């Protein structure tokens, strides 16, 4: 049997499996917005872990990351190390968000922030900004799926057909099962990715170097292409600010909605500490494959093809099919989360507040499912007319969503930010992001997301200085409630005599 047929059969089995998971995840009773969008706030630690890490790793992890390493070598380390630090934001943001969401029935970022700042204008701005940056990211995942199908079949399944298959499979299980379908498919996909990428990395390393000793590969790279192991001095500002910009991953809407979904907030503490292990462990074999490609396949026209090209050349057909199914899993585990959260934003933050305030749960869910079909179709269409590197799309998207951070910190911890300050900060941050990304690229070598955040914070603080603070009622509802939870936890931990640091453990 031809290798491409074997790979196609394996990928087809995978696609059928995720649709079956969607069928199994359907609500047995009456479906509600809470069940469909945050899983009824009932997701346990095991599934929560894998739905977070699988959403974190997208087609970028397979195609974009390997392409970046192939092109720029060790410079990719900024993204690699961000996997350690960015999940730690869950510890400081995730738990208070969970408590507030549980008490006040919040399900999106704009839901929470518009309530605290008492502003539907802010709700609309956050929703529009989120959608602007979600759709290109979703587009990049569909592009990745099309590349995978085209590569493993040698062009027999063309790029456009591959993207269409991704579209059909993905909307099928999301429409059927909502968040639970997304979370359970993420769990399967996360397990697939980590095991298969390590097997693939080992096979490629063994074939290229004749040994599984990583040092042999690195010594060859150092001798033959030493520039791939050097970070130029002039690159350091971009290196460090790219690292900072990637903090946006943990407040990116698909990650953020997972804060609401867990059954117990203790899961978020555990997730903050342990998820970096998976995220870092995943990239090690990607480095091995990409560095091997530098040695044996120099001069590829498309750097993001290095991983599928190396597997096709050095791995047996069955293993290639399995690993490319893993790459497809990475694509879909991120794309399904983006598509699902896009629906929640449209339904909860746009349709219900602005279009039909009296909509029933059933009607709102129907509209949300229509949004899934339409938005994914737009992303599918966009994917046919762009060849931009996946990493560029991802960088813009994460930098854009990072602009929510100052307003979020205000709602959770600091009453010094006002409604007008939050609105101004987000708008200024996004405008500066776009200017420093597309007009004056990375002034002083700083990443556009960081430039946006700098101007965001400055404008937010300045405007807040001259405008009215949030009402005492809202401050007490948010900050007071978080403080109350902290004190209860401290009493449970320390007894009636509280230490001086009590009330700060959220």
Cα distances from 275 to residues 38, 116, 245, in angstroms, run 20, 30, 19
In a domain, 240, yes or no: yes
Q: Is the pTM of this model over 0.75?
A: yes
Model confidence at 423: pLDDT above 90? yes
Top-confidence residue, 2 or 244: 2
Residue 240 clears pLDDT 70, i.e. is over it: no
d(CA 430, CA 303) in angstroms, rounded, equals 29
pLDDT at 347: 96
Query: Does residue 211 lie within any of the structural domains?
Result: yes
By three-state DSSP, how is residue 45 classified? helix
The arithmetic mean of pLDDT across residues 133-145, rounded, is 84
CATH of residue 136's domain is 1.20.1730.10
Query: Does 215 have pLDDT greater than 50?
Result: yes
Q: Check: CB of residue 171 under 8 Å from CB of residue 376.
A: yes
Within-domain flag for 366: yes
pLDDT at 302 (0 to 100)? 85
Cα gap 276→293, rounded to integer Å: 26
Find, among 229, 232, 235, the residue nearest to 291 by Cα: 229
CA distance 378 to 4: 30
176 occurs within a structural domain: yes
Look at the block and give the residue holding tokens 């971009």.
238
The answer to whether residue 455 sits within a structural domain is no
Q: Kindly report, residue by residue over 247-293, the tens digit of the pLDDT.
A: 777 888 999 999 999 999 999 989 988 888 888 888 899 999 999 99
- Region 125-133: what's the mean pLDDT? 91
How would residue 246 be classed by pLDDT, with cut points 50, 70 and 90? low
Q: How far apart are CA 405 and CA 412, in angstroms?
A: 11
**205 closest CA partner among 214, 218, 194:** 214
Q: What per-residue confidence (pLDDT) applies to 280?
A: 84
Beta-bridge mates of residue 262: 43
Average pLDDT value over all residues in the chain: 87
Q: What is the pLDDT of residues 352-373, one digit of tens each?
A: 999 999 999 999 999 999 999 9
Q: In this structure, what token pair is assigned to residue 181?
A: 């379908």
Handedness of CA 226, 230, 233, 234 (dihedral sign): positive
Tell me how far apart the alpha carbons of residues 122 and 26 are, in angstroms, rounded to a whole number: 33
Residue 294: pLDDT over 90: yes
In a domain, 66, yes or no: yes
Q: What is the pLDDT, as a whole number, of residue 30?
A: 58
Of 219 and 308, the structure prediction assigns the larger pLDDT to 219
Q: 490 or 113: which carries more pLDDT confidence?
A: 113
The more confidently predicted of residues 324 and 341 is: 341
CA distance 447 to 434: 11
pLDDT value of residue 505 = 45
* pLDDT value of residue 230: 82
In the 8-state DSSP scheme, what is residue 345?
I
What pLDDT was estimated at residue 504? 45
386 pLDDT band, cuts 50/70/90, is low
| Interval 447-479: pLDDT, tens | 888 899 999 999 999 999 999 999 999 999 999
> What mean pLDDT comes out for the span 175-203?
92
Domain annotation covers residue 216? yes
Which pLDDT tens digit goes with each residue over 76-94?
Answer: 776 667 777 777 788 889 9
Q: Which domain, by its residues, includes 186?
A: 3-387
301: number of Cβ within 10 Å: 5
pLDDT tens, position by position, 37-56 = 999 999 999 999 999 988 88
Closest CA to 334 of 127, 82, 166: 166
- What is the share, in percent, of the chain residues with pLDDT greater than 70? 92
At residue 502, the pLDDT reads 44
What is the pLDDT, as a whole number, of residue 244? Answer: 66
d(CA 142, CA 130): 18
The total number of structural domains that make up the chain? 1
Query: Is residue 442 situated within a structural domain?
Result: no
Greater pLDDT, 84 or 302 = 302
Task: Find out whether 199 and 323 touch, Cβ atoms under 8 Å.
Answer: yes
């Amino acid at each position: 049997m031809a290798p491409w047929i074997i790979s196609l059969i394996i990928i087809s089995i995978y696609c059928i499996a995720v649709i079956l998971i969607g069928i199994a995840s359907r609500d047995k009773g009456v479906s509600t917005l809470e069940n469909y969008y945050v899983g009824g706030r009932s997701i346990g630690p095991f599934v929560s872990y894998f739905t977070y890490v699988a959403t974190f790793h997208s087609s970028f992890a397979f195609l974009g990351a390997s392409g970046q390493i192939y092109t720029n070598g060790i410079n990719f380390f900024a993204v690699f190390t961000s996997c350690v630090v960015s999940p730690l934001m869950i510890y400081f943001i995730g738990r208070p968000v969970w408590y507030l969401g549980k008490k006040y029935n919040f399900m999106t970022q704009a839901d929470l922030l518009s309530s605290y700042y008492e502003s539907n204008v802010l709700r609309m701005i956050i929703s529009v900004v989120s959608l602007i940056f979600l759709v290109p990211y979703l587009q990049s995942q569909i592009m990745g799926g099309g590349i995978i199908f085209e590569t493993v079949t040698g062009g027999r399944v063309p790029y456009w057909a591959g993207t269409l298959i991704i579209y059909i499979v993905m909307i099928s299980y999301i429409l059927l099962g909502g968040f639970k379908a997304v979370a359970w498919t993420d769990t399967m996909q996360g397990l697939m990715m980590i095991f298969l990428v390590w097997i693939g990395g080992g096979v490629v390393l063994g074939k290229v170097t004749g040994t599984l000793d990583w040092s042999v590969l690195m010594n060859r790279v150092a001798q033959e292409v030493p520039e791939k192991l050097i970070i130029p001095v002039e690159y350091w500002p971009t290196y460090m600010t790219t690292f900072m910009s990637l903090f946006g991953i943990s407040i990116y809407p698909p990650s953020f909605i997972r804060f609401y979904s867990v059954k117990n907030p203790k899961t978020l503490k555990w997730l903050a500490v342990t998820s970096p292990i998976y995220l870092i462990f995943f990239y090690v074999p990607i480095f091995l494959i990409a560095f091997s490609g530098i040695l044996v396949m120099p001069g590829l026209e498309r750097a993001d093809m290095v991983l599928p090209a190396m597997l096709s050349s050095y791995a047996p057909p069955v293993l290639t099919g399995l690993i490319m199914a893993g790459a497809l899993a990475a694509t879909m585990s991120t794309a399904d989360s983006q598509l699902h959260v896009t629906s929640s934003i449209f339904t909860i933050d746009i349709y219900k507040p602005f279009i039909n305030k009296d909509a029933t749960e059933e009607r709102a869910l129907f509209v949300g499912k229509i949004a899934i079909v339409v938005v994914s179709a737009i992303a599918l269409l966009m994917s046919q007319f762009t060849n931009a590197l996946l990493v560029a799309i991802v960088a813009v998207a994460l930098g854009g969503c990072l602009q929510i951070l100052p307003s979020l910190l205000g709602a959770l911890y600091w009453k010094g930010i006002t409604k007008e300050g939050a609105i101004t900060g987000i708008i200024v941050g996004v405008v500066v992001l776009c200017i420093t990304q597309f007009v004056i690229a990375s002034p002083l070598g700083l990443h556009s997301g960081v430039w946006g955040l700098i101007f965001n914070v400055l404008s937010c603080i300045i405007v807040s200085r001259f405008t009215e603070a949030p009402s005492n009622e809202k401050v007490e509802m948010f900050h007071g409630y978080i403080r109350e939870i902290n004190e209860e936890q401290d009493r449970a931990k320390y007894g009636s005599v509280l230490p001086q640091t009590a009330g700060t453990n959220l």
